[in-house]
Structure 1
Amino acid sequence: MMYVLPGVWIALVLVVAVVAPDGVSPLPALAVAPAIACVGSGQRQCVLVSGVIALVALVAGLVGQGVREVQERLGTGVAVLAVVALCFWMAGRRAVLAAELERTREIAVAAQRVLLRPLPPRVNGYAVAGEYLSASLGARVGGDLYEVLATPYGLRAVLGDVRGHGLAAIDSVAALLGSFREAAHDEPELTGVLSRLDRSLHRHLRQRSCAEHPAVADTESQNPVAEEFVTLLLVQLGDDGKLETVNCGHPQPFVTGPYATGERPRPLAVGEPLPPLGLLDDGDRAAPAHRGVLLPGQALVLYTDGLQDARNASGTFFPLPEAVAAAAATARIGGALAAAPFARALSAAALRHTGGRPADDMALLVLLRDVARVPLRNRSAALSGTPRR
């Protein structure tokens, strides 16, 4: 549509010139055509074509005209050429800036993908899917974080929420993800991973506070940046479905799928949550993980509070349990629950609820055990929520 606007404008000017009374000439308005092409398409070819058409329209009407009309048309032609030259330069400059913006966007996307890497579709026999909605327009990461790794101890996953949201929280996200990717392979117990993450967060916040306030570099900072915290959920899944969780002030995950209370999702029993990361003491770091079993066909749904606290324009909260049930009912392939469609359906429902503009970062993970079903006698052991001793 934008490509034909200069031609439409030229045709309109010529029609007005035919019906206009004597002494009224709209022909100078032909000089606007190249400007319309520049604004509409931003391409040099369109600017040149519109300028040529405008000049042809001027020259075609010279036959039989008086000296005054000829001079007027020549003056209009000079104006058209001047506008063409200016718009030609502006279109070229616009193309250069657009190319630089595209390269910058590609670099930003690559950097964000390094920070929040695309999840593998399968890890240790589990189907994995994740969705992320940033509160910062145009950003792909923010204050929420997730990662799923295959380790010598089974599948290990983390889902966390740094205080604050958007681009301001990315440095804390980077520090925690880097620490988790190393500790998940080194520490035999989830509590060891938790201790490593907590130390990493404290070290990161001290360094950041000292960098922002070098005058207190030799003392314990009292700046609020050193008081940040992170809600966090650590998950470990063995090949046989054995489940361990450590919850640091994070919303309880849901379990959905076969044998999960009549196909309806329910919160996973994880016991009393620990304080958020950054506020733990020695006793909290040594607290035992909680254990359960994830049965074949069941999915574990982890999410941040940006999802459960999402509101629409009228202030109504996002109905998360109902949305999980609806997504699980529709995200099926061959009658079996599918992780990626499930995560996409739940994310799309949250986005529709907020009108496409979430007020907080939202992240969710789906960990689906879609291997052969276990015998009936093992079903009663599912998701006991009892702490490991």
Structure 2
Amino acid sequence: MTVEKPPSGSAAVLSWMPVAAMAVVAVVDLTMGPGVGLLPLVSLGPAFAGLVGGWRRTAVIGLAALLLCVGLGLYNGLFDRPRGYTAMLSVAGVTGVGIAAAVMRSRREAELASVRSIAEVAQRVLLRPVPLTAGPLHAAVSYTSALAEARIGGDLYEVVASPHGVRVIVGDVQGKGLAAVETAARVLGTFREAAYDEKDLAGLGGRLERSVARELEDEKFVTAILAEIRHDHQVVLLNYGHPAPLLVHGDGTADFPEPPAYALPLGLAAHGGPGPDPFPVPFRPGDQLLLYTDGVTEARDERGGFYPLAERTHLLKDPDVHRALEALREDLVRHAAGPHHDDAAMLLLRYQGGNGGAPGTPA
């Protein structure tokens, strides 16, 4: 049994349109006489009802419209001519179409609700919540899909507290849709397994490259950046054609650590070119590391300007890492001034320091 929800906002205005339309037709017909020929317009009532209401409400309004049509026809003496019966057939026909449309819309809404529920489950499996803390590190994540009804897309992220340190990945699958989601799932599955097994970051990257190369075809690829936070106040980065992360130091200064040489994205190693070289970057208590996808820096405002991430480091000063990242996300949404044209993922790691334990120790 379908329970109809009360309308709200613009739907509330549309919910009154059937009654208003029939009332206007009745008033005009009574004041100006049958010569105007507005009687068939009584069918506007069930037509509007089918837009927002369920099939029961549409049927009730259709019945009311039919009774109104009969009343006005008798009042105007139209049933001694075909005109009155034509008006009744018009109302009955529109009512039937409105009921069918309302039934189909209700089914589509139920299917959409089911798809949303499945998407939420898929998100929990594919993009699991990152650990809030790993030793002295605090983590927060933000994800915005380019598809309005989607919860997941082609961007991916994960944080694993392994015996070799905290290992992180942020990546972006070429393309969109279910194929991108499937590829993201494979990359994350490989990373979660290899993060515990591989002793160094280069070996972990090699596992990912082989996995993606077996999966992707037609020169598709995945840009990704791997990070390993070790015990020596350093973060080791491995960049596969991905935007450089933002490193915000404790004194407020910031920079984008660039690799010595950019490597091809994952899946393109067969085309030749040098592989990525891991490179260390100082990462001390009080520092923050923001890894993100190009949907962040390529977000445009109304004038076509890109999002100035380097100028927004002050938004990350909040003592709570989640509120800090939320402030940055809200600023990004305001800058975009409209729907996102690409997925946008952000992962913020804050080195809190103190006696939280070694970075590889999960809290």
CA distance in 1, matches of 2:92, 2:340: 49
- In structure 1, the residue corresponding to 2:36 is in which secondary structure? coil
Whether 2:17 is the aligned partner of 1:5: answer yes
Quickly say closer, same or farther: Cα 1:146–1:286, change in 2 above 3 A.
Answer: closer
Q: What is the deviation of 1:183?
A: 0.2
CA distance in 2, matches of 1:94, 1:171: 30
CA distance in 2, matches of 1:64, 1:229: 74
Q: Tell me which amino acid in the other structure corresponds to 1:27.
A: L
- In structure 1, the residue corresponding to 2:15 is in which secondary structure? coil
Q: What is the deviation of 1:339?
A: 2.2
Whether 2:138 is the aligned partner of 1:148: answer no
- In structure 2, the residue corresponding to 1:138 is in which secondary structure? coil
Q: Tell me which amino acid in the other structure corresponds to 2:183.
A: S
Aligned to 1:108: 119
Quickly say closer, same or farther: Cα 1:67–1:313, change in 2 above 3 A.
Answer: closer
Quickly say closer, same or farther: Cα 1:20–1:180, change in 2 above 3 A.
Answer: same
CA distance in 2, matches of 1:249, 1:59: 73
- In structure 1, the residue corresponding to 2:14 is in which secondary structure? coil
CA distance in 2, matches of 1:59, 1:124: 78
CA distance in 1, matches of 2:72, 2:267: 80
Q: Tell me which amino acid in the other structure corresponds to 1:9.
A: A
CA distance in 2, matches of 1:150, 1:341: 23
Give the counterpart of 1:34 among 46, 52, 62. Answer: 46
Give the counterpart of 1:202 among 186, 207, 213. Answer: 213
The answer to whether the 8 Å contact 1:166/1:361 transfers is: no
Taking the TM superposition and a 5 Å limit, the aligned residue runs for 1:1-389 are 1-21=13-33, 23-39=35-51, 41-58=52-69, 66=77, 68=79, 76-77=87-88, 79-164=90-175, 167-205=178-216, 209=217, 225=218, 227-238=219-230, 241-256=233-248, 258-259=250-251, 263-268=252-257, 271-279=260-268, 287-295=277-285, 297-323=286-312, 325-329=313-317, 332=318, 336=319, 338-372=320-354
The answer to whether the 8 Å contact 1:124/1:239 transfers is: no
Number of aligned residue pairs: 343
- Unaligned 5+ runs, structure 1: 210-224, 375-389
The answer to whether the 8 Å contact 2:242/2:293 transfers is: yes
Q: What is the deviation of 1:193?
A: 0.9
CA distance in 2, matches of 1:305, 1:67: 68
Q: Tell me which amino acid in the other structure corresponds to 1:321.
A: A
Provide the alpha-carbon RMSD of the alignment.
3.3
- What does the per-residue CA deviation read over 1:106-145, in whole Å, with 9 as the maximum and x for residues that have no partner? 2234334422333343344422222223344533433332
TM-score (norm 2): 0.80
- In structure 2, the residue corresponding to 1:23 is in which secondary structure? helix
Q: What is the deviation of 1:7?
A: 0.4
Q: Tell me which amino acid in the other structure corresponds to 2:316.
A: A
Q: What is the deviation of 1:151?
A: 2.1
CA distance in 2, matches of 1:278, 1:64: 78
- What does the per-residue CA deviation read over 1:319-341, in whole Å, with 9 as the maximum and x for residues that have no partner? 11012x24224xx2xxx2x2222
Quickly say closer, same or farther: Cα 1:101–1:357, change in 2 above 3 A.
Answer: closer
